[in-house]
A and B are shown apart, each in its own frame.
Chain A
Amino acid sequence: MQDFAQEFSLALRLILTGDPDLWEIVLLSLQVSLTAVVIAAAIAMPLGAALAVLRFPGRRAVIVLINALMGLPPVVVGLLVYLSLSRSGPLGVLQLLYTPTAMIIAQVLLVAPIITALTRQTVETLDAEYAEQLRSLGVSRLASVPTLLWDGRLALLTALLAGFGRAIAEVGAVIMVGGNINHVTRVMTTTIALETSKGNLALALALGTILIALAITVTAAVSALVERGEGAEVRHA
C-alpha cells in the first residue's frame, strides 16, 4: 500500500513538473486519435447519412454489417493493417509500418463503423420527421443529407465522442502497427502496458491519470455543448 502511495506521488510529480517524455506521449496520443476521428468522421458521417436516406437493394445487409463492425476486435484490425503495410504487403511500398500514420489508419478502421452506425441512426430518426417537409421544399433525398447532418449536429457530437473514446483507449491495434517505439510511436495506452510490465508504475499511473482526466474532460465538454444547444431551445419556450 505504501509502495502504491509512493508510486502515485511520483506519478503526480511527473504530471505537475511537466515531464517532457510524459507530455510527448500525451501529445502524440492526442494527435493520432484526433486525426483518426476527424478522418473517420469525414468518411463515416456522409456514409451514415446516405445509408439513412437512400433506399437500395442490400441496404439492410449493409446496415447489419456496419453494426457488426462496431465490435470489430482491435487485434484483427491491427493484423490486417500490419499485413497490408508490411514490406511484402500490398501497401508495403509506402513504408508506413511503425509510424504514427499506420496507427491513424488502424484507428480510422476501428472508429469509422462506430460513427457510421450512430450517424445512420441519428439521421434516420431526423429524416422520419423532415422527409415530407424537405421534399415539399424541393430538396431531393441526396441533397437533404447536409441539412440532416447539420440539424442533427448535437446528437452527432455524441457519435464523435464515442469514436474518440474508442480511439484514445485503443491498445491492441496501435501496438501491432506502431510498434511502441520510444519517441516515435509510443502513445498513452501502449506505454501504460509496457511500463506496467517493466514495473515502472509511476509513469504508467501518471499516464493512466491523464487518460482518465482526458476522457472526463472531453465527455464533460461535449455534454455541455449538447446541453447548451438543447437548453437554448427550451429556455425561450
Chain B
Amino acid sequence: MRDFAPDMAMTFQAEGLRVGRNGVTLLNVDHLAIDGPGPTLILGPNGAGKSLLLRCLHGLVAPDAGRVLVDGAPCAEALRTRQAMVFQRPVLLRRSVQGNLDFVLRRRGVPRADRPARIAALLAEGGLAQKARQPARSLSGGEAQRLAILRAMATDPEVLFLDEPTSALDPSATQAIEALILDASRRGIRIVMVTHDIGQARRLGQDVVLMHGGRVVEHAPAARFFEAPETPIARRFLAGALVI
C-alpha cells in the first residue's frame, strides 16, 4: 500500500462546469478547487447536484461546458486509474467476496501469486475475512458497502470518491464505513465524499462544499463552515430548514 504525505495527494479544479438535461441546468460550477488536506465533504439537499459533481470530477460524466483539471492538467482517461469511486448502492460483481477483489487486482496486473495475500489483508482490514468465499451479493448492506470500499482500495488509489456510501445503512454499519474512510484518509488518500448527513460531515470533514440548485454555495474549512457559515443558504441548511 502506498504511503504519501497528504500534500502530495491529487488535486482537482473545476472551471466553468455546466451540465444540463432537456434544457434544465443541473450543474453550474464556476470555480471549485479541491486541494486541501483531509476529507472533502460535499453537502447539500436532494437534487443539489452533489452526485453529478462527483461524477464530473471522476470523469464519468462529460460536462457540456467547462473542464476539470487534475493536478493542473485536463483529466485524461489514464488519470482515472489513479482514482476509485464507491457508489451509493454498491455494485458488486456476481462472484464471491474474494472474487470481487481478485477481479480488480488482476486488472491492475498484480501477479497471481501475490493476490491471495493482498486479498487476505484487505478482507482482514474490512472485517470480512470470514466471508471470503461467500457470494458477494449475499452480503448485508453494510458488508456490501465495506466490500465496495475494499475493492476500491485494492486499486491503490490516490483519490477515493464516495457517493453517499452510508445513506441506507444503520448506525453500526455507518460507523464501520466511516472507520475505513478515515483510515484511508490517514494513509494520504484524498477523500471526496458526498453526503446529506450533517453529522457525518462534522465527523469526517475537514473541508466542506455546500451545494444548492447545482451551484457551489459555500466552500470552507469544516470548522469555519459549521461554526460560522457565511451564506444564508448554509445557515438554513445547517438549521435543517433547507429541504430542497
Q: Which residues of A contact B (CB under 8 A)?
A: 129-130, 132-133, 135-139, 147, 150-152, 154, 232-237
Contact = CB atoms under 8 A, between A and B. Distances in A.
Contacts of B25: none
A154 B155 CA distance: 28
Contacts of B129: none
Contacts of A232: 135, 138
Most buried by A among B60, B83, B94, B134: B94
Contact of A147 (B58, B93, B131): B93
Interface of B: 55, 58, 60, 80-81, 83-85, 87, 91, 93-95, 103-104, 107, 131, 134-135, 137-140, 155
24 contacts: A132-B85, A132-B91, A135-B60, A135-B80, A136-B60, A136-B83, A136-B85, A137-B104, A137-B155, A138-B107, A138-B155, A147-B93, A147-B103, A150-B95, A151-B93, A152-B94, A233-B135, A233-B137, A234-B138, A236-B138, A236-B139, A237-B138, A237-B139, A237-B140
A236 B137 CA distance: 9
B91 A130 contact: yes
A96 to B, nearest CB: 41
Nearest to A236: B138
Contacts of A147: 93, 103
Contacts of A132: 55, 60, 85, 87, 91
Most buried by B among A133, A233, A237: A133
B90 to A, nearest CB: 9
B107 A139 contact: yes
Chain A interface, >50% SS class: helix
Contacts of A139: 107
Which 8 residue pairs across A and B have the least CB separation, nearest first?
Answer: A236-B138, A133-B91, A151-B94, A233-B135, A136-B85, A237-B138, A138-B81, A233-B138
A135 B58 CA distance: 10
Chain B interface, >50% SS class: mixed
B45 to A, nearest CB: 23
A231 to B, nearest CB: 10
Contact of B80 (A129, A136, A236): A136
A119 to B, nearest CB: 16
A137 B86 CA distance: 10
A136 B137 contact: no
Contacts of A137: 84, 104, 107, 155
Nearest to A143: B107
B224 to A, nearest CB: 32
B123 to A, nearest CB: 15
A129 B137 CA distance: 13
A152 to B, nearest CB: 8
Contact of A236 (B91, B95, B134): B134
B138 A136 contact: no
Given A136-B80, A233-B137, 13 more contacts: A129-B91, A132-B85, A133-B85, A133-B91, A150-B95, A232-B135, A233-B94, A233-B135, A233-B138, A234-B138, A236-B139, A237-B139, A237-B140
Contacts of B91: 129-130, 132-133
B81 A235 contact: no
Contacts of B87: 132-133
Given A132-B91, A136-B58, A236 B135 contact: yes
Nearest to A151: B94
B138 A151 contact: no
A18 B114 CA distance: 54
Contacts of A130: 91, 93
Contacts of A237: 138-140
A79 B103 CA distance: 47
A219 B87 CA distance: 38
A129 B91 CA distance: 7
A122 to B, nearest CB: 12
B109 to A, nearest CB: 11
B191 to A, nearest CB: 15
Contacts of A234: 138
Nearest to B92: A133
B82 to A, nearest CB: 10
A152 B55 CA distance: 26
